[in-house]
Each structure stands twice: as C-alpha cells, then as structure tokens.
Structure 1
Amino acid sequence: MPYLQTDRLTIIPFSFDLIKAMANKKELEKLLNVDVPEEFENVQFEEFLPFHLNDSSVSRVSQSWEGVLIHTSDEKVIGTMGFKNVESSANLEVGYQLIPAYRNKGYAVEMANALVNWAFPERKTDKVDHIEVNEIMKRLGLSRLTVEPYFVKDRIDEEKLKKENEYM
C-alpha cells in the first residue's frame, strides 16, 4: 500500500520497522517524527503486534494494506486503518481504530474513502467484508447485502460512488 494523503490525514503503511516501533511510544515518535498520544497505546495491539513481530516474512509486512493514521496538521498519531486478509480472500475486510479525541469527526470516512478509491481499481473487486462501522461504508456508496453474526457483507453501489466521490 502506498502512503495515502487526504485533506486532514496521512496513512503510513506498516513496515517491519514501523511495527517494531509501535511497541514503544518514544521509538514510534522518533520514527514518524510526530506526537504519539498516551491513548494510542491503549488501542488494541496486544494481539496485533506479536502476530506481525513473530512473522519472519518481510514480504508479508511489505504487502500489508494497513497503516498508522496521522492527523497531518496536528502532527499526531490518531489510530490505524486498513484492509485485512488481503491475500486470503476475494473480498477485502476494512478495520480501523481511532483514539477517543478524534472519533465522530469524519476522519474514518475520509481515510476509508481514500483507501477504497486506491484499492478497488488495484484489486478489481467490488466487495468489502467485516466492516466495523457500517455507517462509514454507507457514506462511501456501499449498500448492505447480508448480515451474518459478527460480519457485514457489502457491495459497492458504483453509480452512487461515482456520483458522490468521482470514483471510476
């Protein structure tokens, strides 16, 4: 995944060095040259970090479609976002976490829009699975197909996406 930038946000794709630095606030601040608030340490990395750090495959990390979200003007890490299970599914899974002070301000929608606009032509897919907040994907032109326990399956409404986001 490339670096993606919106009006207010930058997503820095995970690299092996970035993932290692996430275990230590000071190392992460030094690597990214931005502030890392205390709340970011509470974002659920207990399961995430060991999985990636124990994975010796550098190519797996370099092919990650996930990254750290930075509020550009505040120069602050505010969360993570990305697509999950990219290599194992024809559909993409979207996941994100934001620190409390940056929730409900449109940041997730803003970056999800950038991710969708980048990834869908790249993947040639029209489905996103496991959307953590369905409302965000609705704003991006996705409509609900089915609901399963713990998962929501959506398909792009291409006409709405084109109209609202100049997609495709």
Structure 2
Amino acid sequence: EQGFSVSLWARSSYAFPSDPALVSNKDWGNGYNQGWVIAAGPNGRWQWNYADGNGTRCDYDGPKDQLNDSGWHNIVASHVFGGNVQLFFDGFLVSTKTCIANMGSIATGRHTTIGTDPSSYAQWFPGDIDKVAIYNEPLSHATVFNLYQAGQGVSFASPSKAPTPPTDSPTQRPSASPSS
C-alpha cells in the first residue's frame, strides 16, 4: 500500500475563534485548495481536510471541546492513496473516509508547516504541538495505538521517593597517576 501518515500531539486551553492549522501543506484559507491539513476548529474541535484543487474535498470535524481541555492529545491521519483515510484521536479510530479514493494529486509545492499553514493565511495555533511525525506509509490501528501508549509518559506530580538533600562536603576527585 502506498500512502502516508501524519501523527502529532497537541494541547490547548483556548476556544479557537478560527481554524488554525496544526500541520499542513496547503493554503488553508479555503478548504478546496490543493493539499491536506490537520487543524484546530471552532469550539475546541479538531479538523482534517484533503482536497485536490479541482473542486473535490473531503473533511472531518471532531466533537467540540476535544482539543481545548488543556490535556495532551494524539491525532493521526493515515492515508492510503487511491483508497481511504483513517483518522485517530488518542489511539482510537474515530472515522474512516473513502472520499479520497478518486482524488487527484495533493502535492502543492509548498513546505509542510507546523502551527500554521504555509500560505499567508497566518492563523497560528494557540497551544503546544509536539512529536510531529510524517511517515511514508499508512499506519495500522495497532501501530497508532502503540504510538499513543508510548507517548503517554509517566506523571511526575507525586514522586514516590523523597529527593536526596545535597551535602556541603565536596566529593573527592579521582587522582591520576602518570603512566610509564
């Protein structure tokens, strides 16, 4: 299978007044412009858009208040050229879209950008974005779930062991002896 996948982590506490791109290769000023985007949407939604620039587009709008709860969230779009796209949120499949099956090229000649789109649209994402990865293949559900689990990390809010207090006495430095 040929295709590509985009994975990222994002968090924000803002209600987005517009729809800033999280990662994109398109002019996001119009959803019909050629390319793809993962964006934040109004009311804390996240969005995905894919268009060939010839009047055909495909969209997903997630539920409100999913992305603006101040928590870190993993978003993955796994594309199969000539097939479908699977969209994942926090390791779980939330939508499969077949509308990309007959679309033309999404190559725009623009750079892929993080936090905004590569045009003059200039809507910046008001939050944090981390671990952006673009894969040259579609990712399976199991792989996406493993990426999500690996990114969860460990909470250090309550250390299980008290830190060792520093001492005022210097440590002894190792001595070097000349070699013969």
TM-score after normalising by structure 1: 0.34
Q: Over alpha carbons, which structure has the higher Rg?
A: 2
Structure that is richer in strand per residue: 2
Normalising by structure 2, we get a TM-score of 0.32
Higher RCO (CA 8 Å, separation ≥ 6 residues)? 2
Structure having the larger proportion of residues in helix = 1
